[in-house]
Amino acid sequence: MPITPATAASSSSNGVKPSIMLELVDEDGNTIGTAEKLAAHQAPGRLHRAFSVFLFDEAGRLLLQRRALGKYHSPGVWSNTCCGHPYPGEAPFAAASRRVFEELGVSPSLLAEAGTVRYNHPDPASGLVEQEYNHLFVGMVQAALRPDPAEVEETAFVTAPELFERHAAAPFSAWFMTVLDAARPAIKELTGENGGW
């Protein structure tokens, strides 16, 4: 079997899990190198490529996930449908589609690019830093979810008012509002003016 970024990240001949590598970028999103995932997130953080996905059901409700308690970064907090990092050389669209399936056990029925956003968000709880050039995607999900419990603690479909109530009452990822605000024009286009987004 050929070794691809996906197989390399999950297999090893000696049983030791190999390091996951991220793509480092400049301020314009041009690739300038690679770094190991945890090292890229240690303060002050190294600017790297990431993606964030916002999927909606046919009623215009946003699919949120609460991150699994076993995750080393931002465990147990609510966040957007899916987020992650492309492997070096992997297209962000392909990475977003791959991770939605890996985390939630479903493929989007629609997935479209929604721009990019660059941010620097320290996570006070872990001391890690999200220094990211983030590719945004919006879309629809119509199939039944089959979340991976190692990745996702729970899921919820919420309307815009329900989201803002939940955001005021429960912890969310440090990057959530930044990526939501950046994706909002594409979300409004997808859900319509009456969707409340």
| Residues 88, 25, 75, 78, CA torsion sign | negative
Catalytic (active site) residue 83: yes
Task: Write the DSSP assignment of 61-121 as a string of letters.
Answer: -EEEEEEPTT-SSSTT-EE-SEEE-PPTT--HHHHHHHHHHHHHS---SEEEEEEEEEEEE
Catalytic (active site) residue 132: yes
Q: Which residues contact 99 (CB under 8 A, 6 or more apart)?
A: 51, 53, 82, 83, 84
Write b or e for each residue in 92-130: b if 16 or more Cβ atoms lie within 10 A of its Cβ, otherwise e.
Answer: beebbbbbbeebbebebeebeebebbebebebeeeebbb
Per annotation, catalytic residue among 23, 103, 132, 151: 132
Per annotation, catalytic residue among 23, 82, 83, 103: 83
Q: Give the active site residues.
A: 83, 132
